[in-house]
Chain A
């Protein structure tokens, strides 16, 4: 058992891990050693002596603050985007409420966890009068380190007390020596880390120089394989445009036009275009008599426009018929004549 009598020193007493420490702490307190000057150093969290120091830790509060800031950030990004780009897409604002929720959630978690971590790191670095660590602590011992500042008189009392409690070893350390030489080496390794970070950043920045445009990349062509041919009978989307450039109406379109007419127009306009189809009576406006001269006088483009866009009760055929079919049916309509006026003269 060591016997030390140094004035301005830290007493470190080593105990077996199985020694009940609570009574020792109570005795020390009774001997007039303030709780605040005792540290219990252990290789694992001890249970039951947490009260040795009041926990001064705003961790929970800071976590919540961090989380709230995260929500704010998420809302700022998403709602801000929606305000700056007031686009309605698919019937919703560009950034709709559920998305705000998702982004806010992720940012909340990010900032909450990072804040907790940063607080922890700061607290660990601040809680420090670290006495040099006895290697025996890690092999299953507990150390009581008592700051004996200006309480030299008590020193002897405390030491006997510790000895009685079963201390394996008591050492006294001068304050100056108690400070570890760590910072220098730590500085070095920190410079190393900064160096690495710098290199990584430089690499990233140099990547920025690789501005190869896509069409100059070698493999661009291989991605642009020929588009497959449409299966027979499918309708190219483009030809549904309302007004394609040139109306072509060769005579043989009459047959094709008649077929289209019989399928699509007869229910309203009647088999010979007389405006007397079977559903004509149910419509709000009567279907036109297509043989009538005022219809026949109209240009093919006009009729094409009617078939494409529809008119009053007549539906548009933009979606149902391709442009060619619409031109064909117009060509057929142009040939419709009343039985009593085969030449079509008014």
Chain B
């Protein structure tokens, strides 16, 4: 048995204090933020109810462009949800010690992003109150979901992923819920008591928990890969020029990790700044995340180049139209902006070790990457649809105000949920931090 030095032991009460602080003390500006976000969410909800009442025609979706920002946002948010699973799943599997202060931040993002992503599916449905037609059960309508359709695979995969990632977020929370049950009074106490499932911290309970996590971690990493592959196949298995490509599944997965890691960096920076977590999230964490981002930048750039090269060299007219529109045509502006945001600037900055140790800088790159990846998702969907095989049918698309309001409202909802979650769960896993202190040799 590893015995911690008494000096380390004395830091344990400090960990409790520091990490529970965000839950018990609240600055007035917190309420301001919640209020502002709630207003944006209300605007989004209003826009949705308007679309609900008057019909899906309030969007600018229109043949041939039948997918727009809703689907782009869906892909973006499913991608963003890869943050948690990748950071916490893969780093847990590889037993990387530096994961400890980051996993919870990332896992929370996963669950919230998935909720938002699911919402976008519903925004996109016409007559959304009939959504349950998607569920396979014998019914008197004699309607059966078409399992042949990739959209059905999507529904299955996202449901699996949402369930699994909620469980995955919850498991390491159980000991923390027990701690909060004992330490925090007030309205949250009964909830914590229910959620902590009678946790006492007996060795048997630890064993059950650790075994369950050992089982679920590799499974959820596989589910993560499958989910965005399937979202990629939504496009890849269709015959639309510039979608019909085998590269879509891996490209989507890497792209998702790219924006997911970027999102975690933003979260790390903001939370560290507001709650003074410098003792826990150090510069070396930003350095490590910067390296991860560099890896995904290179991987994504490689896949992107391979795809464009193949289309360009093949020179099939229908495909070339799309690529030309991106490189030099109608979409050139956003395209090159996106290339700068997600490839060029990250590559130039993150290769410098000094830059990676600068939290604000890395956060900024995370922000750029996410803006760029959103544009990338839109560019992935709109140009191929806008240039169908029959040139007389070419068209373009810009979102309507209803679509924009819903997109912004949903972003606000994601942030709001996160902001509220910070008051309900510790954003750094307390027991894992202690474990790192005692067994893992965390440097202080």
Complex Cα distance, B393 from A96, in Å, reads 33
**A341 in contact (CB, < 8 A):** no
- Name the one of A16, A39, A106, A234 contacting B226, with C-beta atoms under 8 angstroms: A106
Residues of A within 8 A of B328 (CB): none
Contact A124 B3 (CB under 8 A): no
Q: Do A110 and B167 touch (CB < 8 A)?
A: no
Interface readout for A189-226 with B: 1 if CB under 8 Å, 0 if not? 11011000000000000011011101001111111010
The answer to whether B182 and A124 touch across the interface, beta carbons within 8 angstroms, is: no
Q: Is the CB of B55 within 8 A of A46?
A: no
What's the nearest-Cβ distance from chain B to residue A199, in Å? 17
Cβ of B206 within 8 Å of any chain A Cβ, yes or no, is: yes
By beta carbon, the residue of chain A nearest B179 is A138
Complexed CA–CA distance, A212 and B127 (Å): 8
Please provide the chain A residues from 133 to 169 with a CB less than 8 Å away from any CB of chain B in the complex.
Answer: 133, 135, 137-140
| Pair A41/B200 contact, Cβ less than 8 Å | yes
Q: How many residues of A contact B (CB 8 A)?
A: 90
Residues of A contacting B140 in the complex (Cβ-Cβ under 8 angstroms): none
Q: Is the CB of B198 within 8 A of A208?
A: no
Whether, in the assembled complex, A238 has its beta carbon less than 8 Å from a beta carbon of chain B, the answer is no
Contacts of A214 in B (CB 8 A): 55, 126-127
Which of B208-216, B263-271, B273-281, B408-416 lines the interface with chain A? B208-216
Question: For A131, what are the chain B residues with a Cβ–Cβ distance below 8 Å?
Answer: 200
A322 interfacial by beta-carbon distance below 8 Å: no
Q: How far is the CA of A186 from the CA of B344 in the complex (A)?
A: 54
Answer yes or no: B153 CB below 8 A from chain A CBs. yes
Chain B minimum-CB-distance residue to A134 = B182
Cβ A18 vs Cβ B163 within 8 A = no
- Pick from B1, B129, B153, B164: contact of A48, CB under 8 Å: B1
A17 CB–B CB distance under 8 Å: yes
B57–A117 touching, CB < 8 Å: no
- Cβ contact within 8 Å between B220 and A106: no
Within 8 A of A (CB), among B82-136: 126-127, 129, 136
Residue of B with least CB distance to A78: B147
Contact with A along B383-402 (1 / 0, CB 8 A): 00000000011000000000
A39 and B393 contacting across the interface, CB-CB below 8 Å: no
Say yes or no: A189 contacts B201, CB within 8 Å. Answer: no
Give the number of residues in B that approach A within 8 Å (Cβ atoms).
Answer: 82
Interface residues of B in 416-439 (CB under 8 A from A): 431-432, 434-435, 438-439
Among A52-60, A259-267, A307-315, which stretch is in contact with chain B? A52-60
CA distance A260 to B364 in the complex (A): 67
Instruction: Flag whether B310 is at the interface (Cβ < 8 A).
Output: no
Distance between Cα atoms of A20 and B2 in the complex (Å): 8
- Determine which of A19, A84, A94, A103 lies in contact with B156 in the assembled complex, contact meaning CB atoms within 8 Å: A103
Q: A193 and B159: CB pair below 8 A?
A: no
Separation of A52 and B3 alpha carbons in the complex (Å): 17
Map CB proximity to A onto B130-156 as digits: 1 under 8 Å, 0 otherwise.
000000100000001011100001001
Q: Does A113 contact B55, Cβ atoms closer than 8 Å?
A: no
- CB of B65 within 8 Å of the partner chain: no
Q: What is the chain B residue whose CB lies nearest that of A113?
A: B164
Chain B residue with Cβ nearest A135: B182
CB-nearest residue of chain A to B233? A102
Q: Tell me whether B202 and A41 are in contact (CB under 8 A).
A: yes
Q: Is the CB of A109 within 8 A of B160?
A: yes
B207 lies within 8 A of chain A by Cβ: yes
Residues of B within 8 A of A71 (CB): none
Q: Which of A19, A109, A127 has the most CB of B within 10 A?
A: A109
Q: Which 3 A-B pairs have the closest CB atoms?
A: A219-B57, A217-B55, A140-B12
Given contacts A43-B179, A46-B1, 8 further A-B contacts (CB under 8 A): A39-B200, A44-B206, A102-B226, A114-B163, A137-B201, A139-B16, A218-B57, A228-B392
Residues of B participating in the A interface, judged by any CB pair closer than 8 Å: 1-6, 9-10, 12-13, 16, 51-58, 61-62, 126-127, 129, 136, 144, 146-148, 153, 156-157, 159-160, 163-164, 167, 170-171, 174-175, 178-179, 182-183, 189-191, 193-194, 197-212, 215-216, 219-220, 222-223, 226, 230, 392-393, 431-432, 434-435, 438-439
The residues of A with any CB-CB pair to B shorter than 8 Å are 16-22, 39-50, 52-53, 55, 57, 59-60, 63, 77-78, 81, 84-85, 89, 94-96, 99, 102-103, 105-107, 109-110, 112-114, 116-117, 119-121, 123-125, 127-128, 130-131, 133, 135, 137-140, 182, 185-186, 188-190, 192-193, 207-208, 210-212, 214, 217-223, 225, 228, 230-231, 234
17 contacts between A and B (CB under 8 A): A20-B3, A39-B202, A45-B435, A48-B1, A57-B207, A81-B144, A85-B144, A99-B148, A102-B153, A106-B157, A107-B156, A113-B216, A133-B178, A138-B182, A218-B54, A220-B55, A228-B393
